[in-house]
Amino acid sequence: MLRRFPLLLVFFALLAACGPVWNDPYPASEQGRNIMYSAFTDRPKHLDPVQSYSEDEATFLYQIYEPPLQYHYLKRPYTLVPGSAATMPLVRRYDESGRELPENAPASQVARSVYEIRIRPGILYQPHPALARGADGALRYASLSATDLEGVRSVADFAETGTRELEAGDFVHQIKRLAHPRLHSPIFELIAEYLPGLKTLQKTLAEEVSRSSDALDLERHAIPGIEIVDRYTYRITLKGAYPQFLYWLSMPFFAPVPPEADRFYGQPGMAERNLTLDWWPIGTGPYMLSENNPNARMVLARNPNFRGESFPCEGEPGDREAGLLADCGKSMPFIDKVVFTREREGIPYWNKFLQGYYDASGVSSDNFDQAVTMTSHGEVSLSDEMRAQGIELLTSVSPSIFYLGFNMLDSVVGGGADKEGQARARKLRQAISVALDMDEFVSIFLNGRGVTAMHPIPPGIFGARDGEAGINPVVYEWRDGRAVRRSKEVARRLLTEAGYPDGRDAKTGEPLILNLDTTPGGLGDKSRSDWLAKQFRELGVQFVVRATDYNRFQDKIREGNAQLFFFGWNADYPDPENMLFLLHGAQAKVKESGQNAANYVNSEYDRLFERMKSMPDGAERQVVIDRMVAILQHDAPWIFGFHPKAYSLQHGWVMNRKTGSMVRNTLKYQRIDLERRSAARAEWNRPVVWPLVVVGLLALAAIAPAFVHYRRRERATALGGGR
């Protein structure tokens, strides 16, 4: 009998060999290991901490590098705490005569601010060939030839690695790198305003580069304003008062880089093999980049030399109930490896998350309806399907704003130099602010994923008010305990007061035409343009979208030739100064090449800004901010758009995730319940065998008659041969 069904035996043998989960996209060697799985869509452009400035790069960089400071993982509002620094920096402020000033001294009296930073002793760099040394103590790979580099494509191809203790000089070396003429740091101009020594050093380095194409040796150059006190201490002297500098000390721009790394990567033949700090970073953080294939997969592995850090034991109200303090005092990081897979399309990303192969996911517009439900009041909750899988929803308001700006240099919406014209233009801007229903915009085009903005400061940042005190009184009124947008009738009245009854110039009878300058993919998209045109049409105003390519659009903004434009800003740090400076006269785009794209100037606002920016948080600073916000609401240089909401999904086996986009070094805090994940994957991806069995049986039924006929013929032939 066994001889008659060999194909059936082979079929079931192959079926058994497939294992319990056939569609697992990861190698069998990774099953059951302490690995987190994630995905990325855009490949990081820079991993050199002096150049990197985007969110997709921060995902990797903040896990590898340890700046002096970091944000407390759980506390809100965001609170700075030591990172690689042993304590918070000691800050002293002095006047022109060198006399030390008290902390509350006015910024106008401060001539210089001195930050003394002491780092933790005993911190080691990750294993890296740049730090490998021979028996004689010399760097092992300090002089590589073309022969030495044959077959080398990654840092893992070097046979030896080494490490050493972190020193204060490594932080100073990185600050020097900000001035490197070949690196083009995006924060150079801003920081150089307060640290003039950067420009002095850059000029010196540029002259050296013009004379030679060799790699620069930054160790031969000093930087005015920076001093190494001892092995673990350094000082930075800034011009004037700049309290926001502490926030910059939490960013990789000010993380340590060993000089050995620049010497290692600066050798001939290295850049051609992508052997650069921009591709293979070296840090002291909890993880190191062990695999870099940005078109397919990037891997962070636990740094075996990491100093260790304890999970925080305090947070904000609700954290304990949410289980966020369960790992209080335990050593981090919890996860051994984080695997990031490149996903160019949203559907495969989403499906793998639902199958349990990604531990967390964002919520895109394509899967929004499947993931969440919205009530009539705009409240968001998980869908029944997601809840049944134990998936959890995390939401937070991003420290960002998207706004519709008016170009104050435009004669129509800005009003020109004439005071009467300015007053008319202000009424026009107020009318448009009321008429453009941003609540409706957020509901229709963002699936409710945004909070309508009342002013530039996002919720959660000092200065933002809640409740009735926080509304924009030009656009809203407080009624029955909530903000209610003023009616279109109010907008029409304001339009008439501006001199445009029914959308026509009262003096000339000509129709009012307003132009939105944009790029394809922005508000120039037809559905959004149609919505905007409808809002203006209800006022009797003609609306024209002038879509251009990105470069031409930027030229219009720089030259002041736009009229209305849509812009956004992500806060660099959680301080109101970083939002309110966007309307500071000294930042005017056309005159000063700054970030004030509206070219808005108000002398009272500017005076208050100069005072506010250096004040500590407190009641006095809040009073100043309240007045600044009131000025902006009255003048309406922007329609204050919305603050986007970040939505994130995670499986129930992911522990210790807390939203808050300012905190970017998050991987060390997270933990995976491996048993729960394995069980869920097996259940959700259980192979459906019966269709294959049916197909196999049908195939056997189809070939059985031929097989029987063949056997009969063989037997008959054998019998005939016997006669």
User: What are the CA-CA distances from residue 12 to residues 2, 7, 18, 507, 669 (Å)?
Assistant: 14, 9, 10, 89, 45
Crossing angle between the packed helical segments 419-435 and 526-537, to the nearest 10 degrees: 120
Average of per-residue pLDDT across 76-100: 96
User: Encoding tokens for residue 513?
Assistant: 């035409």
Residue 114: pLDDT above 50? yes
Judged by DSSP in three states, 480 sits in coil
How far is CA 631 from each of CA 95, 288, 603, rounded to the nearest angstrom? Answer: 32, 48, 11
Phi, psi of 643 (to 5 degrees): -100, 120
Q: Are 186 and 51 in contact (CB under 8 A)?
A: yes
> What pLDDT score does 213 carry?
82
The pLDDT tens digits of the residues spanning 129-158 come to 999 999 999 999 999 999 999 999 999 999
- In this prediction, residue 364 carries a pLDDT of 82
In this predicted model, what pLDDT tens digit does every residue of 188-244 receive, in sequence order? 999 999 999 999 999 999 999 999 888 889 999 999 999 999 999 999 999 999 999
d(Cα 355, Cα 681) in Å, to the nearest integer? Answer: 7
Distance, in Å, from the CA atom of 545 to the CA atom of 78, rounded to the nearest integer, reads: 40
The radius of gyration of the chain's CA atoms, rounded to the nearest angstrom, is: 32
Q: What pLDDT score does 714 carry?
A: 73
Out of 24-28, 69-73, 116-120, 309-313, which region has the weakest mean confidence (pLDDT)?
24-28
Segment 432-471, tens digit of pLDDT: 999 999 999 998 888 888 999 999 999 989 999 989 999 9
Q: What percent of the chain has pLDDT over 90?
A: 78
From CA 264, how far away is CA 131, in angstroms rounded?
9
Element at 477 (helix H, strand E): strand 476-479
How many whole angstroms separate alpha carbon 610 and alpha carbon 577? 10
Write the DSSP string, 54-93: SHHHHHHHHHH---SEEE-SS-SS--EEESSBSSPPEEEE
Residue 718: the pLDDT is: 64
Token duo for residue 261: 């790394």
Task: Return the pLDDT at 3.
Answer: 46
In single-letter form, the type of residue at position 7 comes to L
The pTM of this model reads 0.86
Cα dist. 393→11, 400, 679 in Å? Answer: 44, 21, 21
Q: Tokens standing for 197?
A: 């020594």
Q: Strand pairing of 513-518 and 564-570? A: parallel
Cα–Cα distance for residue pair 626/642, rounded to 1 Å = 19
Does the pLDDT of residue 252 top 80, yes or no? yes
Give the residue from 172, 189, 486, 156 showing the smallest Cα distance to 289: 156
Per-residue confidence (pLDDT) for residue 37, from 0 to 100: 98
